[in-house]
Amino acid sequence: MSFRFLNAGDTALTIEFGDGVERRLLAAVSALDVALSQAIASGGLRGVVETVPTFRSLTVIYDPLLTSRAAIEAGIRAALGAPVTLDRRRGRLWQLPVCYGDQLAAGGPDLGDLAAACGLTPAEVVRLHASLTCEVYMLGFLPGFPFMGDLPEVLSRPRRSEPRLRVPAGSVATAGTLTAIYPYESPGGWHLIGACPLPLFSAAWPQAALLRPGDRVRWRAIEVAEYRQLVAEMAERRASPWPPREFLLDAAVDG
């Protein structure tokens, strides 16, 4: 697969594999990330601070006092040439609760309009979305914000023409063939179809983001009463050292 190197300042280097959102590009990013992790663990690539995967590229952040751009590029080229077998079970499997539609004051106000634009009923949109197992492609935009794919084509619609100034925390949303959950209140132009009561990010957790690239997410539709109960139960979880792991279905893949 073709790739190119892009400079990202004096402490980072980006390897770009393409210009779209495609599983083959995501696989290439994941393979390189795994290869670099193995090289770092074996001591063959010094000075790497962090790797940041996206849909189609991987950024390698390094300490210029410990290494150089030339050394990092050489290490990356070696990793690109190394055979890597991706373990599909290395990601974790979650089941996250969602209160769909406008049952809540700050729930899914766009469900009806999205359904009409798709030629479906709101119940059909909920059924389709809740039947998916979505893969976390990357985190970005906000701390812990998971970009997840892939929605079926029938649910794919562009972002709203007028973004909202305030999207409530926990909003479950769609845009194109992607779905996501807003970890915090923020501006946003995605279609809001429901609300998830779980916190997605906390500096108190060993891994600050609940989800990470490679994880898979299933959805469980819940009613307002259960949503409110979970909100109350989760109120202290951002301050707790333990994230809500009771929603982790496949703990065997937790690395």
String of DSSP letters for 192-245:
EEEE--S--B-TTSSSSBSS-TT-EEEEEE--HHHHHHHHHHHTTTTTSSS--G
Domain residue spans of the chain: 4-80, 93-253
pLDDT of 26 reads: 86
Q: What is the DSSP letter of 176?
A: B
Tokens for 144, please give them.
């812990």
pLDDT at 110: 96
Alpha-carbon gap, residue 254 to 244, rounded angstroms = 14
Beta-bridged to residue 218, according to DSSP, are 95, 133
The CA–CA distances, whole Å, from 34 to 31, 61, 161, 214, 254 equal 5, 15, 38, 11, 16
Tokens encoding 190:
């995605």
The pLDDT tens digits of the residues spanning 42-78 come to: 888 999 999 999 989 999 999 999 999 999 999 999 9
Give the domain 4-80 fold.
Gyrase A; domain 2 (3.30.1360)
Tell me phi and psi for residue 137, to 5 degrees. -80, -45
Tokens 């500096």 belong to 203
Could you tell me the CATH superfamily of domain 93-253? Cyclophilin-like (2.40.100.10)
- Tokens matching residue 214: 């490679």
CA distance linking residue 184 with residue 238, whole number of Å: 12
What is the chain's Cα-based Rg? Answer: 20
At 254 the pLDDT is 47
Phi-psi region of 156 (alpha: psi -120 to 50; beta: other; left: phi over 0): beta
Low-confidence ranges of the chain (pLDDT < 50): 89, 253-255
SS3 112: helix
| Predicted local confidence at residue 105, as pLDDT | 63
Element (H, E) at 26: helix 23-41
pLDDT of residue 72: 95
Q: Is 159 helix (H, G, I), strand (E, B) or coil?
A: coil
Angle at 197 between CA 173 and CA 116, to 5 degrees: 30
Question: pTM to 2 decimals?
Answer: 0.84
